[in-house]
Amino acid sequence: MDVSMNSHGVLVEEHLGRRTISLFHALYSLGGVAGSAFTSAALSRGFGTRGVVLATTAALLATALAAGRFLLPHTKASPHESRPHALRPHGRLLMLGVLAFSTMVSEGAVADWSGIFLRTIRSLGPGVVGYGFTAFSAAMVTGRLTGDRVVAYLGESQALRFGGLLGVAGLSTVLLCPQLPLTIAGFALLGLGLANASPVLYRAAGKIPGVPSGAGIATTVGIGYAGLLAGPPALGFVGHAAGISRIFTVMIGLCVLLTIAAPLAGTAKTATQNR
């Protein structure tokens, strides 16, 4: 489903003639916030978990049925284009996948380890340790809502490079500044830095000359989600062996990689121009 949504997002960009995929990712992030808020509110009022799951399922089915008729048809330029399966990654597509992997590792690590860092390293109570992830998520939504304009102004490679530098600055602030407001601000900077990395990388994967859009996106999304699933547990072994702070040191290295390899996103065949 994620591959289909991102592939269709690239198609919508081509149809509109302007960048919109960061906005789609912002709505994805807002959906996560809305879902957690709805679930928390329902459970706190005594609704059972089965009822919440059934209500959510019914809402998703109704939304899918209603939205299906608005989707754009894919134009099949060739029989090869009609098979948007994942490719064996190589060359530039492989490198874009590696960047997506590192980005998703960082996103997952903040979700899994920011609270533990604030509890064990900063000695904060349970009512405060969630602030880091909250600031990260809020900044990511803000960055994605404005991301299409930012990327149109800076260009893909410059936006990735600037985002990587923001990530390095944010993580350095988290590690070096023990004051709570500065630590929270560091997580927010990281969220801003990573906000548009995935949209830019998926767009670039869908625009590689000679690679079907769906296949390029499928490959990059697949590698990226491998990072989301495997990265945080792997970093847990790092934290167990060398300390929780080392997890964020590794993430600084991933942001540096994003900064150095940013030009890979700027050489794709451009299909949209901002109007």
Tell me, yes or no, whether 142 lies in a domain.
yes
| CATH number (domain holding residue 210) | 1.20.1250.20
On whether residue 230 sits in a domain, the answer given is yes
Q: How many separate domains does the chain show?
A: 1
Residue 171 in 3-state DSSP?
Answer: helix
Tens-digit pLDDT profile for residues 215-266: 888 888 888 888 888 888 999 999 999 999 999 999 999 999 999 999 988 7
> Which stretch of DSSP H or E encloses residue 267?
none
In a domain, 38, yes or no: no
* Predicted local confidence at residue 81, as pLDDT: 47
Q: Distance between CA 182 and CA 144 in Å, rounded?
A: 22
44 located within any domain: no
In a domain, 23, yes or no: no
Amino acid at 3: V
Q: Is 10 inside any structural domain?
A: no
Whether 179 is in a domain gets the answer yes
pTM of the model: 0.79
User: Is 51 part of any domain?
Assistant: no
The alpha-helical segments, DSSP class H, found in the chain are 2-16, 21-44, 49-67, 91-120, 131-145, 147-154, 156-176, 180-194, 197-205, 213-242, 244-260
Q: What is the pLDDT of residues 167-207, one digit of tens each?
A: 999 999 999 999 999 999 999 999 999 999 988 998 888 88
Domain span holding position 254: 86-266
pLDDT grade for 268, boundaries at 50, 70 and 90: very low
